[in-house]
Amino acid sequence: EAGVVQSPRYKIIEKKQPVAFWCNPISGHNTLYWYLQNLGQGPELLIRYENEEAVDDSQLPKDRFSAERLKGVDSTLKIQPAELGDSAVYLCASSKNHDYEQYFGPGTRLTVT
């Protein structure tokens, strides 16, 4: 069974530029999560989807961050414009609906210069 797929794995951009990350969850997993992991810290939830619906986006900085999961499968997280403080690893995870076990992708390491 294929795991959670994320791309790109690495991204370097200048501040004020836009950036987008893509995630494809494990087949059959209806719940998708985006987490932010700063260096030396544990992941923090940005947004949680159940199918197409964003059911928890309370931690998403909506002035510059947006996300979508139009067909209830893959998802895109966007930052526009990026700031220096956005440098971090962006992790995608998925789980079966109402299941506790979350499985993480390898992450996208973003560097904003």
Enumerate binding residues for another protein (CB under 8 A). 4, 31, 33, 40-45, 48, 56, 91, 93, 95, 98-107
DSSP-assigned states of every residue in 35-82: EEE-TTS--EEEEEEETTEEEE-TTS-TTTEEEE-TTSS-EEEEESS-
98's enclosing H/E stretch is none
Nearer to another protein, 80 or 97 (CB): 97
Nearer to another protein, 59 or 76 (CB): 59
Beta partners for 90? 36, 108
Distance in Å, CB of 14 to another protein, minimum: 24
Distance in Å, CB of 81 to another protein, minimum: 26
Nearer to another protein, 14 or 44 (CB): 44
If you count them, how many residues does the chain have?
Answer: 113
